Structure 1
Amino acid sequence: MRKTYALLAALAAAGLQPAAAQDTVSPTGIASQWITLGTHGGPVPHADRAEPSNLLLTGSEVYLVDVGDGAANQMARVGVPLARLSGVFISHLHFDHTGGLGAVLGLRFQTEAQNTLTIYGPPGTRQLVDGLIASMRPGGEAGYGVPGEEVHDPSIGIEVIEWRGGETAVVGGMTVRNVENTHYSFTPDSPQYGRYASLSFRFDLPDRSILYTGDTAPSEAVDRLGQGVDLLVAEMIDLEGLLGAMGPARGDQAGGPPPLLIEHLRTHHITPSQIGEMAAAMDAGEVVVTHLVIGNAGREDWRRYEAEIGAHFDGTITIAQDLDGF
């Protein structure tokens, strides 16, 4: 069931902090929430939607699941302090899914967050984090510009765990499983083969289970991981709508984006119908659609997406907006 946090965002913009924002995380350790902080599939910025990021709240634990540009600001808009963040899950290393991580690390460092932040992600995540920490050192050494100020190490309190797919781990009060999906299709003769992976995550919480596809094409491994899941959070592409929004320079015409990009869009993402087939194969309880690569689509198109998903899946379907909660 959708719960919108737009009211909290409006109050925050007015300088108010409603009690509801303070109670976003249940102190009981039972209730969980999934908040779609950013729902636009990048990399081109969108005026009305932030880049892909999600907030998973369970008891007193706070996790980011992907961390697109603006994730820290979106957390503030729903009333969750950055200092409460204890973990980040990264599905893959495309910039629309990682662009906000530098701000999260830098702002935690500048505000002297005391807890350890663990970042879970595919191969290459450690190199990414090491680079971001290196970029923080000049600002950390400059500090507040006060003579005699102690210089702190920005790497303290940051841990990285890389997963290749197929791991199971207990993280806080939940069990997390992952599989390698089909967002990448490197062949054995390519230099990237075996070096990088795109992951889908399943979170088994005290009160329910959530499957986050990340970016993927149809995948039997993801279908198996999601068996019986309560909430399926899936990416989606409307390629024809996207190409139509490009006008005369649409990607399958001369002067448009390179064929390599069009091949990626056609073969490495899932359509509304494929989401429905995936949800049915999993016997999922509910579907939330995010990471929308949909051009200039509006509400009429949303109804069409819901109908195409619903042709295969008869449960609740929601095309998410920023700051929706489930």
Structure 2
Amino acid sequence: MERTRLLRTVAALLALVAQPAVAQDVAAAPVEPASLWVTLGTHGGPVPNANRSEPANLLLVGKEAYLVDAGDGAANQLAKAGVALPRLNAIFISHLHPDHTGGLAGVLSLRFQTETPGVLTVYGPPGTKALVDGIVASLVPGGESGYGVPGEPIHDPRPGVRTVEWTGGETVQVGSMTVRNAVNTHYSFTPDNPQYGRYASLSYRFDLPERSILYTGDTGPSPEVDALGKGVDILVAEMIDLDGLLGAMGPQRGDAPGGPPPIIIQHLRDHHITPRQVGEMASAMEAGQVVVTHLVVGNAGLDDLRRYVAEIHQVYDGPVTIARDLDGF
């Protein structure tokens, strides 16, 4: 019932913003554009899940549509939400792990194949340009071969995509919203690492006409993210159940025999946030509500989900929702 109601809400919003403008009484108060955040994919990869798609989100702001991370299947999830690819105004990538970028090739290639007009901008951290350039280069052979009709002109995918890299701390006006970002702790390169300064993981704050949304992306506990989200209306946070995940890992999932190597355990422990840490983050921000996505969990059932909410509520007293694919907020 809730899923059906959400999809109807999305469809109604899309129909509303697609209607032509009508004359209004000049004395009437201005109407701020509606916004909707849709959790297209709520599974923390990289192992595919039968019930949840890879990390991706849709942000609707009036007539504007933005993709925030683009995990595998993002194009299909957009279609389920009723948003056609030509409607996208821009894409925001939080970091370069494949579970957050695996669907980017599908979005860009399908736009290219359907000859979508205009230029789509992809915003992201350092390294995003190399990623996007690689995807676009992979489209060149298909553009040259076309539909196999003699005399057909060659189609070049490069003019249809623009990449903007952010190093952290930027404040930019994108459409009708202000976008701010901060480097988080999903990577912990030190100055002696060759990757230091070359790569970063970003959290994003979207200040909309009527409310604000903080998207953590993947992160460990981070004072910079806490500061970025101060007073935010909605905190969209990742979450890990480390014990549950380690208990579920094994050869049947494609994991290495004998369990994950120490570096993976360190990454899972230090570069993600537990339910209690989600609550601590929300409390530090004084967030209006919490939406939990990117579930890095084992074989979690309903009791586990209730436990996660209870652990968050130990340190945060606002509303908490464990999001599902295609939920809207």
Q: Normalising by structure 2, report the TM-score.
A: 0.91
Correspondent of 1:70 among 73, 79, 83: 73
Correspondent of 2:14 among 15, 24, 27: 24
2:108 equivalent to 1:105:
yes
Q: Corresponding residue for 1:4?
A: 3
CA contact (8 A) 2:105 2:135 kept: yes
The separation in 2 between residues aligned to 1:127 and 1:6, in whole angstroms, is 40
Deviation at 1:4, TM superposition (A): 3.1
Correspondent of 1:273 among 273, 276, 290: 276
2:296 equivalent to 1:293:
yes
The separation in 1 between residues aligned to 2:155 and 2:33, in whole angstroms, is 37
The separation in 2 between residues aligned to 1:165 and 1:141, in whole angstroms, is 38
RMSD, aligned α-carbons: 2.2
Q: Corresponding residue for 1:92?
A: 95
Q: Corresponding residue for 1:40?
A: 43
Structure 1, unmatched stretches of 5+, are 9-17
The separation in 2 between residues aligned to 1:138 and 1:166, in whole angstroms, is 38
Aligned length: 316
Q: Corresponding residue for 1:203?
A: 206
Q: Corresponding residue for 2:248?
A: 245
The separation in 1 between residues aligned to 2:319 and 2:221, in whole angstroms, is 20
2:298 equivalent to 1:283:
no
Deviation at 1:115, TM superposition (A): 2.5
Deviation at 1:23, TM superposition (A): 3.4
Deviation at 1:248, TM superposition (A): 9.1
Amino acid at match of 2:197: G
Structure 2, unmatched stretches of 5+, are 18-30
The separation in 1 between residues aligned to 2:4 and 2:185, in whole angstroms, is 32
Amino acid at match of 1:319: I
Q: Corresponding residue for 2:52?
A: 49
Q: 1:175 to 1:211 in 2, by over 3 A?
A: same
Instruction: Report the 3-state secondary structure (helix = DSSP H, G, I; strand = E; otherwise coil) of the residue aligned with 2:122.
Output: strand
CA contact (8 A) 1:29 1:58 kept: no
CA contact (8 A) 1:25 1:58 kept: no
2:279 equivalent to 1:264:
no
Instruction: Report the 3-state secondary structure (helix = DSSP H, G, I; strand = E; otherwise coil) of the residue aligned with 1:134.
Output: helix
Deviation at 1:247, TM superposition (A): 6.0
Deviation at 1:19, TM superposition (A): 9.3
The separation in 2 between residues aligned to 1:325 and 1:152, in whole angstroms, is 37
Amino acid at match of 1:39: T
Segment of structure 1 superposing worse, 108-117 or 223-232: 108-117
Q: Corresponding residue for 1:321?
A: 324
Amino acid at match of 1:4: R
Q: 1:26 to 1:234 in 2, by over 3 A?
A: farther
Q: Corresponding residue for 1:12?
A: none
2:184 equivalent to 1:185:
no
Q: 1:85 to 1:3 in 2, by over 3 A?
A: farther
Amino acid at match of 1:24: L
CA contact (8 A) 1:86 1:115 kept: no
The separation in 2 between residues aligned to 1:24 and 1:5, in whole angstroms, is 15
The separation in 1 between residues aligned to 2:78 and 2:15, in whole angstroms, is 12
Q: Corresponding residue for 1:131?
A: 134
The separation in 1 between residues aligned to 2:243 and 2:272, in whole angstroms, is 13
What's the CA shift string for 1:100-122, capped at 9, x where partnerless? 00000000001111132110000
Q: 1:178 to 1:26 in 2, by over 3 A?
A: farther
CA contact (8 A) 1:5 1:325 kept: no
CA contact (8 A) 2:230 2:286 kept: yes
2:217 equivalent to 1:227:
no
CA contact (8 A) 2:250 2:258 kept: no
Q: 1:166 to 1:288 in 2, by over 3 A?
A: same
Aligned sequence identity (%) = 68
Q: Corresponding residue for 1:172?
A: 175
Question: Which aligned segments of 4 or more residues in structure 1 are displaced greater than 4 angstroms?
Answer: 5-8, 247-250
Q: 1:300 to 1:62 in 2, by over 3 A?
A: same
Deviation at 1:33, TM superposition (A): 0.3
2:305 equivalent to 1:302:
yes
Deviation at 1:223, TM superposition (A): 0.3
Q: Normalising by structure 1, report the TM-score.
A: 0.92
Q: 1:285 to 1:142 in 2, by over 3 A?
A: same
Segment of structure 1 superposing worse, 195-204 or 253-262: 253-262
